[in-house]
A and B are shown apart, each in its own frame.
Chain A
Amino acid sequence: MRRLLPICTAICLATLCAAQDMHAPASAIAGEEVTISTNGSGKATFYLLGPGVSRKSDVSLGSEVQLKAQDLQNAGEYFAFLCSDTCRSSSFYVTAAKPASLTFLVHPSRVPVGQGDAVSGVALPFDQFRNLVLTPETVNFHLLEGTASVFSRSSQTRDGIAWFRTASQKSAGTLQVDASLGDLSARRAVQQVASDPCNLRIKGERTKAGILVQTEPVRDCAGNPVPDGTIVSFTATDGNGRSTVDAPIKQGVARAQLEAPGATVISVASGVAMGNELRIGAQP
């Protein structure tokens, strides 16, 4: 029995000395070096598996394993394994570094004036390695019409997202939409455009070539000029049949030349809006 005890002790010590172990940090910051300490003696194989990385190297037990900054750029869960006869494992999380860019989604890029909750924006802070920054950050949203501020709000990110929603303004033009987080900022533009034409009115007269007809300045119901290029359809009906011209608004008015020698009725429409009718007598 006396002889057996030292033998057992020796076997146990030998087992303990040979058994490898390692200590990884509980968490780390993306792009920063990490040291993992190992116990034991002899040689072992070290494995690191994580988002975007897979590493395998021989290590001497008892020494430290240096994980380089480029191995730990992606946020997420990393697994470390130390294998000789058996394998030991450890896992740790890498979290995003400080915000380095701001992704800013703004919609729509064109919006009719005077519409409630029509403009919205979503901001997402990312670190320099494009990891989503999940710690709460304050994002300032700022909307400008020309130089006039029309909307301002501070919003804290939740799970990496801050957002706002607001109405479009009363007048047509470019709405500048800014999001900022500390020194970071992103800018988008929303075109506020007139709604459908309202009170479409035409006037016309006979010329040598036929009938020259044109609209009064085309505006929406709020008085905003309808964008140039919008199609206005003129239709003239006389004894010879029907003549139509789809003419774009240019400099606020649309005009067309119609061929109709007889007594003619001319109507006008743009989208869902109808205008007045014009009656012009036959060519003398």
Chain B
Amino acid sequence: MSRMATIFALLLASSLSSYGADSPVRVQLDSTKAIPRSVESLTEQVILRDYRFAWTSIAQALEFNTLDPLEGAFTGESKQALSQSVTSQQRTGLSQRYVDQNHKVQAVFYAPEGDVIELHDTAEYQLQILDSGKLIHEEHVVVHYIVLMTPAADRWMVRHLQAVPQF
């Protein structure tokens, strides 16, 4: 009986601990106002896919304090800043959970040669801050992000991710 209780407790703990990272990431992308080049339908689909993947990766990296999820979705400054966040959190024992992410994204600039796209993301999520696994703060936040994405061989990567007070 006690063994069953232990297994149940472990399962419960694992389900709780992966709650933030497994939480769905909803992304809506409106690219109708992008200038000077209009975003091709296929490009829009790929950007939507890759931006959603990027936020799933951020959630995993900052919850479990591991650098692996940052491979593939980020490049340049964003990769550097997120890597710093993870290594810094590893030192302090802090972690963050991004729960129930909802991103309303608007493409505002798409370069004439298609080599960079700028997005405005109004992100809403439940932010949980944990110290050594203990919740110390939880709040529903609305954050505005300015995002630069650039194409790689088979995907779009987040090059820059910068929160701003408003657009």
Residues of A within 8 A of B (CB): 27, 45, 47, 49, 51-56, 74-77, 79, 81, 83, 87, 89, 93, 95-96, 105, 107-108, 117, 120, 122, 124, 130-132, 134, 158-161, 163, 165
Is B164 located at the chain interface by the 8 A CB criterion? yes
* List of A residues within 8 angstroms of B89 by Cβ: 54
Residue contact B92 to A52, C-beta cutoff 8 Å: no
The verdict on A122 contacting B111 (CB below 8 Å), with A51-B85, A83-B136 known, is yes
Distance in angstroms from B39 CB to nearest chain A CB is: 15
Distance in angstroms from B108 CB to nearest chain A CB is: 6
Chain B interface extent, by class: 35 or more
Q: Which 3 A-B pairs have the closest CB atoms?
A: A52-B84, A107-B113, A120-B112
B90's closest neighbor in chain A, by CB? A54
Residue contact B115 to A49, C-beta cutoff 8 Å: no
Residue pairs across A and B with Cβ atoms less than 8 A apart, 13 shown, are: A47-B94, A51-B82, A51-B162, A52-B82, A52-B88, A56-B94, A77-B163, A105-B111, A107-B113, A122-B115, A130-B77, A132-B162, A134-B164
* List of B residues within 8 angstroms of A53 by Cβ: 84-85, 88
Distance in angstroms from A155 CB to nearest chain B CB is: 12
* List of A residues within 8 angstroms of B70 by Cβ: none
Is B59 located at the chain interface by the 8 A CB criterion? no
Distance in angstroms from B46 CB to nearest chain A CB is: 20
Q: With A and B bound together, what is the CA distance between A89 and B139 in angstroms? A: 10
Is B7 located at the chain interface by the 8 A CB criterion? no
Is B116 located at the chain interface by the 8 A CB criterion? yes
Distance in angstroms from B16 CB to nearest chain A CB is: 20
Residue contact A159 to B165, C-beta cutoff 8 Å: no
Q: With A and B bound together, what is the CA distance between A171 and B139 in angstroms? A: 62
Residue contact B146 to A159, C-beta cutoff 8 Å: yes
Residue contact B162 to A120, C-beta cutoff 8 Å: no
Q: With A and B bound together, what is the CA distance between A53 and B163 in angstroms? A: 14
* List of A residues within 8 angstroms of B92 by Cβ: 47, 54-56
Residue contact B91 to A132, C-beta cutoff 8 Å: no
Interface string of B61-94 (1 = CB under 8 A from A): 0000000000000001100111011001101111
